[in-house]
Amino acid sequence: MTESHAFRASVGSLCKRIILRVVVGFGIWGGLLFGAAGTFAWPRAWVQLALWLPTIVLNFAILLRVNPAVVAARLEGKRGSARFERVMIPFFLIGTLAIPVIAGLDAGRFGWSSASRWTLWLGLILHVGGDAIMVWAMAVNPFLEKTVRIQKERHQQVVTTGPYALVRHPMYTGSILLMAGMPLVLGSWWTFVSVGLLTLGVIIRMFFEEALLRRELAGYEDYVHRRRYRLLPGIW
């Protein structure tokens, strides 16, 4: 098999796995949203699902072209070497699945809170902006796995280009912005409880990850001194 044929076969395999995960993910997310709401007559939920699908398709189309290695690495789902991962992974899973449940109960079923129309537009902006930052980070960093570990078998190096020239953890910046947009798109203020806890978890994970990288990844300590800001350029 030639190198080009091998590459096409690899991309084809990745596409199949991506499609399967997207279908399963949408099924679970949509089921929780409308199940908690008790109705399909929830326009904002349909807006969010309609936003997610083209976003995910575009994201993978870009990454499969510019950095297929990061797609493969994130689909692998290797276990992190750090102990805190054993706690953080279940925490993030439960917190994420709580978002559609809380939103469905609040905005879809009981109307515990009400959101003005402008929140939808702000939520869309945060979603698109956060997603763009995350894709930018994945486009330049082939070592951006889902779990925290030192990838010695892949000869991991410090990445300093793209958004990493501005902040040390752009993936976390993007994910926080994207999560902040979810309650606004869905029209549920109560969903910020789950999003707030997830954001706190992201920040805690960031400190643990940075300690591991400074201790075990060659060149990261120097990078920390050269890139002052963690999440927000000029602020923090």
The domain ranges of the chain are 3-226
Model's pTM, two decimal places?
Answer: 0.89
Residue 174: name the closest of 231, 227, 99, 224 by CA: 231
How many CA atoms within 13 Å lie on the side-chain side of 108?
Answer: 28
Tokens of 69: 């290695």
91-98 contact pairs (CB < 8 A, 24+): 91/201, 92/198, 92/201, 95/194, 95/197, 95/198, 95/201, 96/194, 96/198, 97/28, 97/32, 98/194
State how far the Cα of 30 lies from the Cα of 32, in Å rounded to an integer: 5
Instruction: Kindly tell me if the per-residue pLDDT of 112 is higher than 50.
Output: yes
**pLDDT above 70 coverage of the chain, percent:** 92
Question: What pLDDT is stored for residue 7 in this prediction?
Answer: 46
Q: What confidence tens digit (pLDDT) does each residue in 176-226 have?
A: 999 999 999 999 999 999 999 999 999 999 999 999 999 999 999 999 999
Residue bearing the bigger pLDDT, 112 or 8: 112
Instruction: Kindly tell me if the per-residue pLDDT of 97 is higher than 90.
Output: yes
Instruction: Kindly tell me if the per-residue pLDDT of 65 is higher than 90.
Output: no
How many CA atoms within 13 Å lie on the side-chain side of 220?
Answer: 16
Read off the pLDDT of each residue in 104-131 and give the average, rounded to a whole number: 94
H helices of the chain, in order, are: 3-37, 43-66, 68-76, 85-103, 117-140, 170-186, 191-216, 220-226
In Å, the largest CA–CA distance within the chain is 60
Q: What confidence tens digit (pLDDT) does each residue in 123-137 have?
A: 999 999 999 999 999
Read off the pLDDT of each residue in 35-61 and give the average, rounded to a whole number: 92
- Identify the DSSP state of 150: -
Q: What confidence tens digit (pLDDT) does each residue in 9-42 have?
A: 566 677 788 888 888 989 999 999 999 999 999 9
Question: What pLDDT is stored for residue 79 in this prediction?
Answer: 61
Tokens of 131: 């997603």
CATH number assigned to the domain covering 3-226? 1.20.120.1630
How many CA atoms within 13 Å lie on the side-chain side of 61?
Answer: 6
Range scoring the smallest mean pLDDT among 4-13, 53-62, 128-137, 147-156: 4-13
- Identify the DSSP state of 67: -
